[in-house]
Amino acid sequence: MNTVLNKSAKQVKTLSARANKGTIKSLYLQIEMGKLILEGYAYWKANKKLVGITRDELSALYGVGNTFFGQLKNASKIPIEDTEKYIESLGNEPTASIKGLLDYMKPEPTEKPKTLYTFSISKEIGGGGARFDEKLEAHVNGNEAEIIEHLKTLLNELEVKKELANIELVELIEA
């Protein structure tokens, strides 16, 4: 096995053994593990053929599952100030975790306005489309000028068909 990855994996396993799960100290140790994992991952990604192992085998080398491997890697990228804000947000809660840190860093979901109308253009004639929400704000995907031209064309064709479709209703009077 590759000596660079073996050394990094050994360091991660040593830190993991010292981590008393759920404590603030453990969180910092796991972030350090994540930094080592991130370095090992970058090395592995740049040298896949030389190393000759899959991502699953890489996470196994570090002694963690695939999901936790990714979580540790992502947590290691979080600025220390944000990690400290997460810890402060815990208050009297007894546990700090990598998953909790990552969840804390996710932006609050914003309520999306309800879509009232959509207009899609076939890829055969350029693709794209527009969505109009309940505030009648347009959200365009593609070339805006082309989409507007397609909309105008469609509206003009509908207007012509509307004129052709007018049927006059006449009341029949019985004599």
Express each pLDDT in 51-71 by its tens digit: 899 999 999 999 999 999 999
User: CB atoms < 10 A from the CB of 22, how many?
Assistant: 14
pLDDT at 175: 46
pLDDT at 19: 72
How far is Cα 6 from Cα 87, in angstroms, rounded to an integer? 32
Whether residues 50 and 121 fall in one domain: no
How far lies 24's CA from each of 12, 50, 105, in Å?
17, 38, 17
Parallel, antiparallel or unpaired: strands 115-120 and 129-133 = antiparallel
Whether residues 98 and 122 fall in one domain: no
Establish if 63 belongs to a structural domain: yes
User: And the tokens for 166?
Assistant: 């007018």
Establish if 30 belongs to a structural domain: yes
- Give the pLDDT means over successive 10-residue stretches in the chain (175 positions): 80 78 85 94 92 92 92 95 92 84 88 85 84 84 83 78 59 54
Whether residues 85 and 135 fall in one domain: no
pLDDT at 146: 84
Whether residues 43 and 69 fall in one domain: yes
